[in-house]
Amino acid sequence: MSCVTRELLLEDLDPDQAWDAVVDMENWLAEEAELELEPGAEGRFRLDDGSERHAKVEAVDPGRTLSWWWWSDEADDRGTHVEVRLVEAVSGTRVVVVESGFAVGPVAFAASTLLHRTPIRA
């Protein structure tokens, strides 16, 4: 329930061409995108409605996956996670967007990655 998934087929585009389109974020996602596409990089977006969002890049896998966290300055905004996945299809490339974590935020995310990286000792 706290997750939105949308997808669309980009016809006649291979995943690399689709990737070039995805990383050109000012063309489709935001008026301004000040964000280096490097895992861990932090930056900001100005969206087409004028609102601003901070962002932190999670994963960059050219031709396959781009994911980030983003959140606004509003005190009660816990932020959400966005994953853009490219899937090769017969007649093009499918772009799958999953925005999730409408209840948890970067803090919970950081805690979960920490837990996953730390070996559990009995």
What is the closest distance, in whole angstroms, from the C-beta atom of residue 27 to other proteins in the complex?
A: 5
Which tokens sit at 97?
């967007």
Question: Strand order of the sheet with strand 80-89?
Answer: 3-11, 92-100, 80-89, 65-71, 52-61, 42-46, 32-34
Q: If binding is defined by CB under 8 A, does position 86 make contact with other proteins?
A: no
Least distance in Å: CB of 9 to other proteins? 8
**Residue 73 near other proteins by CB under 8 A:** no
Assess contact for 95 and 18: CB atoms under 8 A. yes
Q: Tell me which residues touch other proteins (CB under 8 A).
A: 1-2, 4, 6-8, 10-13, 17-18, 20-22, 24, 27-29, 76-78, 95, 97, 99, 102-104
